[in-house]
Structure 1
Amino acid sequence: MATKTKTRPVHEVRLGVVKAAIWANDTDNGVRHNVTVSRIYKDGEEWKDSTSFGRDDLPLVAKVCDQAHTWIFENASKSTD
């Protein structure tokens, strides 16, 4: 039985409880990046995450998305130099 290795994001941006994970995907046209955004929270002793955000989370969502966007552009330009 083959074991599956867990894929990790190439970078994460976190502000408080909101984080953006940046994923690299190899394509025929080079590396393309996707971003997933989540909110972490503790349920008892266990940490969990959600893709649902409250009103007060939205400014952090905007900021982590902006920082993820900047990271992708900075790193994409390095790989094409």
Structure 2
Amino acid sequence: MASQPNKPVAEFRMGLVKAVVWRNESDKGPWYNVTIVRLYQQEGHWNETHSFGRHDLPLVQRVAEQAHSFIYEQKPEVAAEPSAD
């Protein structure tokens, strides 16, 4: 049986900047990661980059805040990331 690809649990978008929230599982329970990208179109195809211009930064801040709020709205024991210790 083929495994299903991991799907994001939330996505926040402002203009061409988006933040995607991923839920991960570990032996200590679930935790979250966020990917932030800027969309752009080249030769009729949509692409993503992790590079942001000066005018993108306020949008990066806003989607990051939305992702942060989403994670902390989850159950407190689920929102904590695993310790780096």
> Which TM class, normalised by the smaller chain length?
0.7 to 0.9
Decide whether the 8 Å contact of 2:31 with 2:78 is kept in 1.
no
Which structure would you say has the larger RCO, counting Cα contacts within 8 Å and 6 or more residues apart?
A: 2
Measured on the aligned residues, the alpha-carbon RMSD in Å equals 2.0
TM-score by length of 2: 0.82
Q: Determine the structure 1 residue equivalent to 2:52.
A: 53
Q: Determine the structure 1 residue equivalent to 2:71.
A: 72
Partner AA of 1:20 in structure 2: A
Count of residues in correspondence between the two structures:
79
Q: Distance in 2 between matches of 1:75 and 1:3?
A: 29
1:1-81 paired onto structure 2 within 5 Å: 3=2, 5-77=4-76
Structure 1 unaligned spans of 5+? none
Q: Percent identity?
A: 42
Displacement of 1:28 in angstroms is 1.4
